[in-house]
Structure 1
Amino acid sequence: MKWMNELLASEPASSNLFTFILITMPLLSIVLGFVTYAILAERKVLGYMQLRYGPNRTGGRFGLLQTVADVLKLLIKEDTRPKQADRALFWLAPVIAFVPSFMVLAAIPFTESILFADFGVGLLYFIAISGISTLGMLTAGWASNNKYALMGGMRSAAQMISYEIPLLMSLIGVVLFAGSLNLVEIVEQQQYVPYILLQPIGFIIFFISATAELNRIPFDLPEAESELIAGYHVEYSGFRFAFFMLSEYVYLFAMSALITVLFLGGWNPIPGLGFIPDFIWFGIKFSIVVYVFMWIRATWPRLRADQLMEFGWKILLPAAMANIFLSAILKELFF
């Protein structure tokens, strides 16, 4: 959708909003559809890996309507609020958490022609906007007037800050090799060699940090139900709780797409198989990344809070710094 900017610029200002809605609603529908069945797929994958059945009643033997039923249940569930909670912030927190997760999709190029907007600094835009969601979690914990929620919000802020730094530093090698912050140009630079081969250390650091940024096991300390009874969103119910879950899975969609773009060559085909459409290549690589995220959730135990912080500051951060120096040397000597 590279034509969006030209379309908006060519139309009168009075119709720009209507055109923008026409463009964004299909994208929102696709994302919501992905989220709905990504949850179902994860439950089935977890069941398979843990030798048990996943959903297999609602919607036939594969449970195809189970997540739809869960969504309907959340929509009609009673919406409660603690009596002493901060009303305005309590209502605003889910919105702050969800809106950035949808906004970052604007920077993701799914193919050379299927992208919402071609930013010159698309990578910087993605990182900057995604960090706003942490404010939603911290706001939810503060506004709930609940000590468990507050601790979950504080854990979320500490975790995001600790893992945002190595995540950003792991990308410097990619930017050095590509010479650009534009995500389309980064994919084009991987036409023959994906950056996962040139930046294996950066990829590992980025993937681990991304898992922590997504609050997924083994880094789901902000939601640790064994300690915090679900953490920052413990007081939320109904569709407001659904906003937090929706945000988490939209970020899974966005982060998997970003990994595909930065390290797996995006829509570039394997040499000799260029006859397969580019969107299929992107979909295959993207699906593999999503599956690995689910695989990790099924097999890894949760870390303790002190282990989480030590791993980020004492292992990932030094490794990211070493990767920067190594990447600069390789760039100077061979590229």
Structure 2
Amino acid sequence: MTTAQLIGADPGWLITVKALLVFIFCVVLTLLSVWGERRLVGRMQQRPGPNRVGPFGLIQALADGVKLALKEDIIPAAADKVVFVLAPIISATTCFMAFAVIPITGPVTLFGRETAMQLTDLPIGVLYVLAIASVGVYGIILAGWSSGSTYPLLGGLRSSAQVISYEIAMGLSLVAVFIYAGSMSTSDIVAAQSTTWYAVVLFPSFVIYAISMVGETNRAPFDLAEAEGELVGGFHTEYSSLKFALFFLAEYVNIIAVSALAVTLFLGGYHAPPFLGFTENWLGGWFTAIWFFSKVLVFFFVFVWLRGTLPRLRYDQFMQFGWKILIPVSIVWILVVATLRLLSLQGAPRLVVVAFSSFVVLLVMLANIGFENAKKKRQSSITHDETTPNFAVPVLPLNISSVNVSSSSKGVGRG
């Protein structure tokens, strides 16, 4: 039976149990992620990190959650109270919904029934994840708008522009995966990678998605929506207690969600590496979950690594990178992939495919050289005196003939 048939045969109680297991997995992994990030950043900065609460500081995140719950819940007087309360609920709810279509394991036995650790298998599962991510942005925008303060509003506006820009690049990076897999179902895409991962075949798409998912989750170096040095705390400046905890939870669950989607689309999902495929039948198929979690943790380490090493980009640099580099490169790559796929399906000789690929690479190199030459000419044509300021300067009184020098000299003589 296929994965879709296995899931379709699940009774209601089994779906409820699987949903509860996925929810517990997300919450526990979030607590461990907070602890792991603080420990890793501490090591990068040559300090121990949390090490007091529990063994190795493992319960530090739980202690922080209890502390936040006991804090005073303050609602600003100028805030729209209904929307102010609703915004963190939207963010925290939508981030969990993406896991409904993520296949965590292959066929396994749960309570005596054969099933798969996936709640549903939609024919457009990947588009469902992108739609849910778009809805989650409303929580950030509403939080900034309803706070009745300037800094949260600016953070919400930045977040909306940022997510719209990088969701386009993210969606375009997935088109090549759809072309190769012939489906938008997450289980079909995982099954198509049983021999070769798409991170190898579609490496440019993988790189574009990896960059876009960092911008999508508002993480450093793309955390412009909550830049502490510019906007205090961004969209959640006015939040405290459990409402702030919900935003904190949503951020880390979103990191896990985009990492899980990257594993599903580019790293073979729950499949083991090609040379370790014999391990997929261990523990009755449950060993595939270990492979899935291991790949997700690799992506999470990359998130932490970026935060600990790279400075924050300027907002104009960030938006130019999305619109002028990622999106054009994605469009060109889609055309190349579609042409190569068409040639291979029509049985074109391998020499023709290689020649077309070489021609595209040559065109890209020539375009890059032409762009760099045009940039150098443009810079050389601008003659600018470095001693002249770029801002308006009042005219200085250079004519000093009217100054009464004699009076000053008489004063000096008397002294």
Per-residue deviation at 1:185? 0.6
Residue identity matched to 1:56: N
Where relative contact order (Cα < 8 A, 6+ residues apart) is larger, the structure is: 1
Q: Which residue, 183, 191, 196 being the options, matches 1:193?
A: 196
Aligned partner of 2:187 in structure 1 is 184
**Which structure's CA Rg is the greater one?**
2
For the residues of structure 2 that align with 1:140 and 1:271, how far apart are their CA atoms? 46
Residue identity matched to 1:308: F
1:231-258 residue CA offsets vs partner (Å, 9 max, x unmatched): 1010000000011110111111111110
Aligned partner of 1:84 in structure 2 is 78
Q: Which residue, 47, 52, 68 being the options, matches 1:52?
A: 47
Q: Which residue, 145, 150, 168 being the options, matches 1:147?
A: 150
1:141-199 residue CA offsets vs partner (Å, 9 max, x unmatched): 01000000000000000000111111100111010000000011101111111001111
Structure 1 unpaired stretches of 5+:
9-15
Aligned partner of 1:12 in structure 2 is none
Aligned residues: 326
More displaced stretch, 274-283 vs 298-307: 274-283
Please report the TM-score for the alignment, with normalisation by the length of structure 1: 0.93
Per-residue deviation at 1:114? 1.3
Alignment RMSD, CA only?
1.6
Aligned partner of 1:65 in structure 2 is 59
CA 1:248/1:172 → structure 2, altered by over 3 Å: closer, same or farther?
Answer: same
> Per the alignment, in what secondary structure is the counterpart of residue 206 of structure 2?
helix
CA 1:129/1:170 → structure 2, altered by over 3 Å: closer, same or farther?
Answer: same
Please report the TM-score for the alignment, with normalisation by the length of structure 2: 0.76
**1:109-124 matched pairs, under 5 angstroms:** 109-112=103-106, 113-124=116-127
State whether structure 2 residue 244 is matched by structure 1 residue 241.
yes
Aligned partner of 1:32 in structure 2 is 27
For the residues of structure 1 that align with 2:315 and 2:210, how far apart are their CA atoms? 19
1:280-313 residue CA offsets vs partner (Å, 9 max, x unmatched): 2212222111111111111111011111111110
CA 1:262/1:4 → structure 2, altered by over 3 Å: closer, same or farther?
Answer: closer
For the residues of structure 2 that align with 1:110 and 1:134, how far apart are their CA atoms? 25
Aligned partner of 1:218 in structure 2 is 221
* Cα pair 2:31 2:61 within 8 Å, conserved: yes
Residue identity matched to 1:65: I
Aligned partner of 1:299 in structure 2 is 309
User: Percent identity between the aligned chains?
Assistant: 42
Aligned partner of 2:276 in structure 1 is 273
Residue identity matched to 1:167: M
For the residues of structure 2 that align with 1:23 and 1:225, how far apart are their CA atoms? 39
State whether structure 2 residue 94 is matched by structure 1 residue 100.
yes
* Cα pair 2:196 2:274 within 8 Å, conserved: no
Aligned partner of 1:167 in structure 2 is 170
Q: Which residue, 320, 324, 336 being the options, matches 1:326?
A: 336
Structure 2 unpaired stretches of 5+:
107-115, 280-286, 346-415
CA 1:280/1:23 → structure 2, altered by over 3 Å: closer, same or farther?
Answer: closer
